[in-house]
Structure 1
Amino acid sequence: MLSDTAALALSLGALWFAARPASPNKSFGFYRFEILAALLNGAALFVIAAIIVWEASQRFFDPPAVQSGSMILIAVIGLLANLISAYFLMRKGDVKDNINVRSAYLHILGDALGSVGAIAAGLLMYWFSWYAADPIISVIVAVLILKSAWGVIRWAIHILMEGTPLAIDAEKVKQTLIAIPGVKDVHDLHIWSITSGRDSLTCHLVVEEQADTQDILKQAIKRIEDVFKITHSTIQIETKNLHETACSLH
């Protein structure tokens, strides 16, 4: 429960920082605090899983006798508390698409899995006196936690490395822009996430010499927003001659 409280506090703190207005030195704002919080929460889950595996390995070869009745009772209370926390977090936050909220949710879910594992192990020990069930189930829970934690860490690193958002196909974006009448080519296309759900795009459009550049720009911005839900785009319009001149200078 202590780790859950710390994870929730970290996520709430990140949400508070992210809500601060942008400054001249932080022109994109403070949204990346959410990503950093998610990365720390994911790393903490790795540490927790490692501790679970280590403690389980100590009990595996010499499993101690456990008061299974008390163990089951405590686990049931813990499970109920975690389920209530998870329910309110799911109602108030976006646990699917917001990586920061998801990382806190996974902490609660991991604790809930631990409680389920403890209940299962307690029942096996109560019915069959099989005390090795505790470390075995603990390792299974740790593996499940590791799997979820790795997903959060990989997602956070992808955002921090300014990778293309997972739900967006860069080639499809390029073809959507080329389909605009008057556009001949697209280059220097960059798409990245500032934080979960806040994607940005920059690119250069090579257009025909006599094209209406303002109309093309309006169409490009609208298509990017309508098709890919990207509301922050910076697009440079250039003619073929200007593009060739710029290329010759490099």
Structure 2
Amino acid sequence: MHDHAPAPGGIRDAGHRRLLTVSLALTGTVMIVQVIGAILSGSLALLADAAHMFTDASALVIALIATAVAARPADDRRTFGYQRAEVFGALINAIILSVLMVVVAVQGVQRLLDPGEVEVAGPLMLVVAVVGMVANAISLWLLSRAQRSSINVRGAYLEVLGDLIGSVLVIVAAVVIVTTGWTPADAIASLLIAVMILPRAVSLLREVFSVLAESAPKGTAVSEIRAHLEGYRGVVGVHDVHVWQLTRGAPVFTAHVSVDPAVFEAGRSSQLLQELQSCLADHFDVEHSTFQLEPADHDECEATHA
């Protein structure tokens, strides 16, 4: 006997798309300002941060497209809908981050090894970096809540967080140049931005791989869920348990439940099924669950058991 609770709608929230749109507008505007500022000031760190902002703008566009696709309803061919679109969007983000890290690192090393006669206008560099920091702080605040329930919004959030840190690094380098005239601080800031990108890319790739590999969501204890379900009156055992997630915040649970034959005789199977689904939703935040109820003496022929 099977039943399905409704799938969570967190990633289909139009509010997420509005937040991403606002963040995109801020990111795009600051990116243009930083490119102009980098050209006028000769700052490699500012140019690296501008490139980072360009990547983030691209990532936000991908996120907007992915969330729009994910909002499409399920059909007979894609019975879970299009929620995985967010995961593929996050994968593209992670690849872009990795490429950016390499490019920035190479340029930073070249500037350190061959500084030449490059002049860096510290005051202009400082003003533009402060503008970037303020804009990134606003975007980060806008995305902070939504990133907890959407893997793609989280990707955008992590990138904006990196931008904020990058702006701070550029500000520090600009202050050093203004006060001491030591221009290598600009190249060092560029390398630090490159190093900063690495853990963000790895973290996002790890999460994407976990979803695509259909691993149990982080923090989910299958043994604990099984024990909780077996505590219900009439439940003899729980096996063939599978837990995975369609995307961040959209866990899915299936299981076979061995039930005392008296439950079927008394017509309590529907009530028990509802209790089990409520258990998953209330105690483990799993809104989409599928249970197969079977008599305890049922001859199980499954090849594997969870």
TM-score (norm 1): 0.89
Partners of 1:206 and 1:243 within 8 A in 2 = no
Per the alignment, residue 230 of structure 1 pairs with 286
Once the 2 structures are TM-superposed, how far is the Cα of residue 188 of structure 1 from its aligned partner? 0.9
The separation in 2 between residues aligned to 1:175 and 1:61, in whole angstroms, is 62
Which one-letter code corresponds to 1:240 in the other structure? A
Query: What is the CA deviation profile of residues 32-91 of structure 1, one whole-angstrom value per residue up to 9, with x for unaligned ones?
Result: 11111112112211222222211111112233442222222222222233233333334x
CA–CA separation in structure 1 for the residues paired with 2:149 and 2:200: 14
- Structure 2 match to 1:35: 87
Match of 2:168 in 1: 116
Instruction: Name the CA shift for 1:122/1:185 in 2 (closer, same or farther; >3 Å).
Output: same
Deviation at 1:98, TM superposition (A): 1.6
Q: Does 1:155 find its partner at 2:207?
A: yes
- Does 2:272 align with 1:216? yes
Return the letter of the residue paired with 2:272.
I
Q: Deviations over 1:177-200 (max 9, x none)?
A: 111122222111001111221211
* Alignment correspondent of 1:194: 246
Shift of 1:247: 5.2
CA distance in 2, matches of 1:145, 1:96: 20
Deviation, structure 1 residue 19: 0.8
Aligned residues: 245
Q: Is the 8 A contact 1:190 1:201 kept in 2?
A: yes
Residue 75 of structure 2 aligns with which residue?
A: 23
From 62, 67, 83, the equivalent of 2:137 is 83
Equivalent in the alignment of 1:172: 224
Q: Could you tell me how far apart the structure 2 residues matched to 1:88 and 1:220 are? A: 37
Cα distance, 1:107 vs structure 2: 2.2
What one-letter code is carried by the residue in structure 1 that aligns with 2:95? A
The secondary structure found in structure 1 opposite 2:148 is coil
Query: Unaligned regions of 5+ residues in structure 1, if any?
Result: none
Letter in 2 for 1:4: D
| AA at the equivalent of 2:217 | P
TM-score (norm 2): 0.74
CA contact (8 A) 2:55 2:97 kept: no
- Distance in 2 of aligned mates of 1:13 and 1:124: 41
Give the RMSD, CA atoms, in angstroms. Answer: 2.0
Aligned counterparts of 1:88 and 1:215: Cα–Cα separation in 2: 42
How many Å separate the matches in 1 of 2:164 and 2:282?
40
For residue 180 of structure 1, give the secondary structure of its aligned residue in structure 2.
Answer: coil
Structure 1 runs, 4 residues or longer, greater than 6 Å off: none
SS in 2 for 1:59: helix
The structure showing larger relative contact order (alpha-carbon pairs under 8 Å, at least 6 residues apart) is 2
CA distance in structure 2 between the partners assigned to 1:72 and 1:88 by the alignment: 25
More displaced stretch, 196-205 vs 125-134: 125-134
For residues 146 and 299 of structure 2, what CA distance do their matches in structure 1 show? 43
What amino acid is the match of 1:79? M
Which has the larger displacement, 16-25 or 125-134?
Answer: 125-134
Shift of 1:119: 1.2
For structure 2, the residue ranges without an aligned partner over 5 or more in a row are 1-30, 32-53
For 1:162, what is the secondary structure of its paired residue?
A: coil
2:12 matched to which residue of 1? none
Letter in 1 for 2:296: K
Q: Match for residue 25 of structure 2?
A: none
Spell out, residue by residue over 1:156-187, the C-alpha distance to the aligned partner (whole angstroms, 9 max, x if none). 22111111111321111111111112222211
Structure 1 counterpart of 2:133, one-letter code: L
Alignment partners' CA distance in 2, 1:135 and 1:54: 11
Once the two structures are overlaid, the 10-residue window that deviates more, 12-21 or 38-47, is: 38-47
